[in-house]
Amino acid sequence: MLEKEKTCAFTGHRPEKLHMSEKDARALLCRSIENAIGLGYTTFITGLARGVDVWAAEAVLDLKLLHTEVKLVCALPFPYF
């Protein structure tokens, strides 16, 4: 039987609304993404908003160097709304 692809999407706050430093937030994101990869997640989706979305995308791209099966999808908003 084929295993379903596992997908993870990111949402988060702008840097000024976080209750932790950027360094701590990035480290937490990296650990969380590593854990997700370990659980079989291979596709990661981000909207590329400033802050958590961008940091998550950067972490995925860094981890992709070690985990070539990982894909990053950038879901950009429709510009006409």
pLDDT digits (tens, 9 = 90+) for 24-42: 999 999 999 999 999 999 9
Structural domain contains residue 14: yes
Structural domain contains residue 1: no
Please tell me the predicted confidence (pLDDT) of residue 1. Answer: 61
Structural domain contains residue 24: yes
Structural domain contains residue 79: no
If one counts the domains in the chain, the total is 1
What DSSP character marks residue 71? E
Residue 44 to residue 40: CA distance in whole angstroms: 11
CATH number for 21: 3.40.50.450
HSE-up (13 A, CA, CB side) for residue 33: 30
**Which residue range forms the structural domain that includes residue 51?**
6-74
- pTM exceeding the 0.75 threshold for the entire prediction: yes
Name which of 17, 27, 36 is nearest 55 in CA terms.
Answer: 27
Please tell me the predicted confidence (pLDDT) of residue 2. Answer: 65
61: Cβ–Cβ under 8 A, 6 or more apart, which residues? 72
Structural domain contains residue 63: yes
Structural domain contains residue 80: no
Structural domain contains residue 81: no
